Amino acid sequence: MPFEELEDVTSADIALRIFGGTVGELFVSAGEALRAVMLGGAARRAEGMEISFELRAESIEMLLFSFLNELLFHKDSSALLVSPTVVDVDHGPGGASLRCAAVAERIEPALHDFIVDIKAVTMHRFSVCYENGAWTATVVFDV
């Protein structure tokens, strides 16, 4: 999986380091990581429908923060698990924006055995950085 759990950061919540070769891949990995911590990496997928959404933020960090929150919003408001497939990200000194193509599955208790529910994305140790040709994010989810 394109992420690893950081076990020494928090006892009640879940801290992850997430990787991507490109910034778009980082965002896709973050979406996969969110799904995997809630359901386990090998969880089955239901039949899904294609959706897309766009977001803007003042920085690449805040864009990732908003992006993950958007996925949580779909989970709670519409009982949809949204898995990003392609994320196109533009960023620069003036801000950052993305267009995300994703598959949305309806939550089905018979199929989706949740390990935990993620309530929120925290700003504790939240970071996005580009180093040695790869993108890395650190995220602590509130459980």
Partner 1 sequence: MKPEQLQNISEYCYEIPKSARKGMRVPARIYANAELIRSMDDAVFEQSVNVAMLPGIRKYALCMPDGHSGYGFPVGGVAAIDPEDGGVISPGGIGFDINCGIRLMATSLTLGEVREHIQPLVDRLFARVPSGVGAAGEIVLKGSKLDEAMVKGARWAVQNGYGDQEDLEYCEENGCMDGADPQAVSQKARERGKNQTGTLGSGNHFLEIQVAKKAGIHDEKTARAFGVDRDDQILVMIHSGSRATGHQIATDYLQRFLSVQQRYGISLPDRELACAPLHSDEGQAYFGAMNCAINIAFLNRQLIMHRVREVFADHFNKSPRELGLRLIYDVCHNTAKLENHEMEGKTLKLLVHRKGATRAFAPGMKGVPERYMPYGQPVIVGGSMETGSYLCTGTAPARESFYSTVHGSGRLMSRTQARRRFNGRDLQRSLSERGIHIRTASFSGLAEEAGGAYKDIDAVVGAAFGAGLCAPVARLVPLGSVKG
| Proportion of the chain in helix, strand, coil states, percent, rounded to 5 | 25, 45, 30
Output the smallest distance, CB 66 to partner 1, in A: 8
Residues 15-34 that bind partner 1 (CB under 8 A): none
Q: Does 4 bind partner 1 (CB under 8 A)?
A: no
Phi-psi bin for 141: left (phi > 0), alpha (psi -120 to 50), beta? Answer: beta
| Spatial contact of 136 and 17, defined as CB atoms under 8 Å apart | yes
Question: Near partner 1 by CB under 8 A, which window of 44-52, 59-67, 89-97, 129-137?
Answer: 59-67
Q: Does 10 bind partner 1 (CB under 8 A)?
A: yes
Residues 81-100 that bind partner 1 (CB under 8 A): none
Question: Near partner 1 by CB under 8 A, which window of 12-20, 21-29, 47-55, 84-92?
Answer: 12-20
Output the smallest distance, CB 1 to partner 1, in A: 14
Checking DSSP bridges between strand 3-5 and strand 14-20, what pairing results, if any? antiparallel
Checking DSSP bridges between strand 134-142 and strand 120-121, what pairing results, if any? antiparallel
Distance CA 39, CA 75 (A): 13
Interface residues toward partner 1, by CB under 8 A: 5, 7, 9-14, 38, 40, 58, 62, 65-66, 69, 72-73, 75-77, 79, 107, 109, 112-117, 119-126, 140, 142-143
